Structure 1
Amino acid sequence: MRRSALLLLLPLLYACNQTQSPPPTLQACRPTQSPSIQGLPPSFQGLGDFDAPHVPGELLVLGGGFTPQGLLDRAGLLGEAEVLSTLPGGALHLRVPPGQERARAEALLRAGARYVQPNYLYRLLARPNDPLYPESLLDPSRQQPFFRLIQMEQAWDRFAPGCTPTVAVLDTAFDPKDPELAPNLLPGYNATPDGLSGPKALDPSPPPSGASYEADHGQGVAGLIAAVTNNGSYVAGVGWNRIKVLPIKVFYFVGSRYTSTTAVLDGAIRYAADQGANVINLSLGGPQDLYLRDSISYALRKGTVVVAAAGNDGTDGLVYPARYPGVIAAGSVRLDGRRSDFSNYSSTPADLVMAAGGNHFPLEALWSLALNRDYGYYRGLGRVVKWKGTSFSAPQVAGVAAMYIAQYQPRYGQAPTPDQVRTCLTMTASNGGRYDPQTGYGIVQADRVLTDTTYCFP
């Protein structure tokens, strides 16, 4: 019954432009570096937040000019602390006895380290509904009402890219063989230490005994950006086959939790920037984190735009990394344009814009892809799933940012800087350049982003 019900829906999802010819092959968009964006201030020192969720027994240490062994010797930790790695930004990744993280961090600080923090944990910012396929042509989860709020159809009519932009999606897992996504995927990267490599690199991580989890999130986020569009099947992506997604797996099991860490995200963000990603999408959240702020600054200096979900607590104050300077925060509105009941907001002005990401009460959710595979240890949720959360506002915003980059580069001979992209998206959003504590600068208006001659194409 599910299969027949889905087939009834498909003609409505793709009734337009069935005969359109495929777009021409374009060269990659080149990020424009921003060397004026600074990394960590030299004067920064102290301890991180040891009350925030973190990996037991792991520390990240910004040294004070000592060798790793020299620092451990000064701190009296030789033989007790183990150097796991050196992060791309220069921090030491240490293992210490679980439960002794703060005490060992204080010892390292006294020995001359500049800054020590735990290896923080990051959580997903969405929770899927059951994978139900529609039984009616009046299915309220069809994408068109959600995309209409960001003026997507008008933007598609105006989209004339001069290069192919890349959005790096840092998330749970991906299926690079899914025909609904594969044509728009680049070769992926597993940034986690779970040991999966080769064809299995982007698979969900095998769980420890008794653990349960949901890994379809990454496929759903990537689908909203780059699902194959105009092929008469399943869902549409914001990029209409003109945006490539670089899938980077950052979630794996730490104990019994499917999560990500500071160390993994730091490496993944830098990897995406080094690969020339035009936009990074972070549909995840966690505590304030010095190292993650530095890796985001690194990406911004390389010319990579960073978009992050605002958070799903329904409270005043964006989660990190959406809260960091230079990041475009993506909140969620319901279909009537009001803030979603779960979406975080900010009474303090921030680079906050909105897209339609559903609602709890009354329930609103939108279709996107799921893994649709049985991995033996994990069964995907189906071909498509109804999603809601700021996790699914963020990829809409990231996709619009990528469209702007692709339209800007041929006019000016180079891509816009991250600051230019933030200015364009915020100043053309639905609040008319004014900041509102509930909705920030308002709902992203994709058609204005591609045509505005004041803030976007001066």
Structure 2
Amino acid sequence: MNLEAAWDVISARSWVCTPVVAVLDTAFNPSHPDLEVNLLSGRNLTPDGLSQDDLRPSPPPSGVVYGQGEPDHGQAVAGLVGATADNGQGIPGVGLNRVKVLPLKVFFWIWNSSTQSYEYSSTSAVLSSAIRYAADRRANVINMSLGSPAPLDVVVQDALGYALSKGSLLVAAAGNDGIDGLRYPARYKGVLAVGSIRLNGTRSDFSSYSSTQTDLVMAAAGNLSPSESLWSLALGTSYPYYSSQARYLTWRGTSFAAPQVSAVAALYVAKYATLYGKAPSPDQIKVCLEQTASNMGAYDSQTGYGIVRADRVLTDTTYCFP
């Protein structure tokens, strides 16, 4: 992604705005020492019995336990956007201290009557309310590192349209099925889908793709065989029903490609607003990221428009700053 060159551009000037990326995800620890300064006050949009400002993992039903790392997912996604840079610990978020994260908890325990079991997931009502909440608070980017193989309810589709009308860029993980066909909401028109590439620049073996041309870009987020992964944050604290002692864990998946692209998009918003006195539209952001990506404006069925090039996004005078 050539982040170092992009960060040189960022460090060389001041900005008139601080862009916000809303992260709709599992759970968050606002006291994590490598994230707290870049984390805004969030909201629990789930009916899990906790207060609206309680971002802890939802208490599981009696007899149900979390899988290892499940609730840490949201903290990892948020970290790739907003982990504190230049503090001598952990990792730097792609936003390099210029981007704030709005954490929105949308995952909780739901009874599935078909499988007769509880699932750690979300609902259309919760997801749509979170999208609208983020849009109403003028989030520049809404990151959804989540997905369904089936189309989402119309209430979610309406919320996506509402967010676009309010100027929020929608970013979603392509999916980890490794097949031709993106998950929802990544597949919807207006949403920027993000797939994963491995270190040699080819598509990660788990990353879903699309032979039908769509808004799809890539970022590096691991591989299954051979094994590749990347570091990000974890909750780093223990709860009565879940223990996450580690502050950092290794991750792989399109869930962790998406926030890298969300943060680059937010940096573009900051520079654009500084130059032109207003934020770019979601369509302008997509054009900038896609046309400057590694495939140079061409679409490939495996990698879409290619790897987002952060250095070009912040300097291109044809598609980004004409």
TM superposition score normalised by structure 2: 0.94
Tell me which amino acid in the other structure corresponds to 1:211.
V
The answer to whether residue 2 in structure 2 is matched with residue 151 in structure 1 is: yes
Match of 1:184 among 15, 19, 38: 38
Question: What is the CA distance between 1:210 and its match in structure 2?
Answer: 2.2
The answer to whether residue 315 in structure 2 is matched with residue 451 in structure 1 is: yes
Q: 2:142, 2:46 → 1: CA distance?
A: 17
Name 1:81's counterpart in structure 2: none
Match of 2:294 among 430, 434, 438: 430
Match of 2:56 among 203, 217, 240: 203
Tell me which amino acid in the other structure corresponds to 1:276.
R
Q: Gaps (5+ residues) in structure 2? A: 112-117
Q: Aligned runs of 1:222-371 on 2, under 5 Å?
A: 222-255=78-111, 256-286=118-148, 287-289=150-152, 290-371=154-235
Question: What is the CA distance between 1:410 and its match in structure 2?
Answer: 1.5
What RMSD in Å do the two structures reach over aligned CA positions? 0.9
Q: 2:35, 2:133 → 1: CA distance?
A: 22
SS at match of 1:332: strand
Q: 1:381, 1:250 → 2: CA distance?
A: 23
Q: 1:364, 1:194 → 2: CA distance?
A: 35
Q: 1:399, 1:410 → 2: CA distance?
A: 17
Q: Give the total of aligned pairs.
A: 308
Per-residue deviation, residues 69-121 of structure 1 (Å, max 9, x unmatched): xxxxxxxxxxxxxxxxxxxxxxxxxxxxxxxxxxxxxxxxxxxxxxxxxxxxx
Q: 1:432, 1:405 → 2: CA distance?
A: 21
Q: 1:381 to 1:293 in 2, by over 3 A?
A: farther
Query: 1:211·1:257 contact (CA, 8 Å) conserved in 2?
Result: no
Q: 1:216 to 1:381 in 2, by over 3 A?
A: farther
Per-residue deviation, residues 379-413 of structure 1 (Å, max 9, x unmatched): 11511000000000000000000000000001111
SS at match of 2:122: strand
Q: 2:219, 2:155 → 1: CA distance?
A: 28
Match of 1:218 among 37, 49, 74: 74
Per-residue deviation, residues 307-340 of structure 1 (Å, max 9, x unmatched): 0000000000110000111111000000000000
SS at match of 2:237: coil
Question: What is the CA distance between 1:198 and its match in structure 2?
Answer: 6.0
Tell me which amino acid in the other structure corresponds to 1:455.
Y
Tell me which amino acid in the other structure corresponds to 2:89.
S
Q: 1:242, 1:281 → 2: CA distance?
A: 17
Query: 1:250·1:265 contact (CA, 8 Å) conserved in 2?
Result: yes
Per-residue deviation, residues 146-189 of structure 1 (Å, max 9, x unmatched): xxxx1111100012433100000000000011111110011000
Query: 2:268·2:313 contact (CA, 8 Å) conserved in 1?
Result: yes
Tell me which amino acid in the other structure corresponds to 2:8.
D
Q: Gaps (5+ residues) in structure 1? A: 1-149
Q: 2:65, 2:4 → 1: CA distance?
A: 39
Q: 1:293 to 1:381 in 2, by over 3 A?
A: farther
Question: What is the CA distance between 1:421 and its match in structure 2?
Answer: 0.3
Per-residue deviation, residues 209-264 of structure 1 (Å, max 9, x unmatched): 22222200000000000001100001110011110000000000002211111110
Moved over 4 A (4+): none
Per-residue deviation, residues 255-296 of structure 1 (Å, max 9, x unmatched): 221111111000000000001100000000012122212111
Tell me which amino acid in the other structure corresponds to 1:177.
S
Name 2:251's counterpart in structure 1: 387
Query: 1:430·1:444 contact (CA, 8 Å) conserved in 2?
Result: yes
Q: 1:235 to 1:411 in 2, by over 3 A?
A: same
Tell me which amino acid in the other structure corresponds to 2:128.
D
Query: 1:216·1:381 contact (CA, 8 Å) conserved in 2?
Result: no
Q: Percent identity, aligned pairs only?
A: 63
Q: Aligned runs of 1:7-18 on 2, under 5 Å?
A: none
Tell me which amino acid in the other structure corresponds to 2:62.
S
Tell me which amino acid in the other structure corresponds to 2:294.
S
TM superposition score normalised by structure 1: 0.66
Tell me which amino acid in the other structure corresponds to 1:226.
G
Query: 2:265·2:285 contact (CA, 8 Å) conserved in 1?
Result: yes
SS at match of 2:249: strand
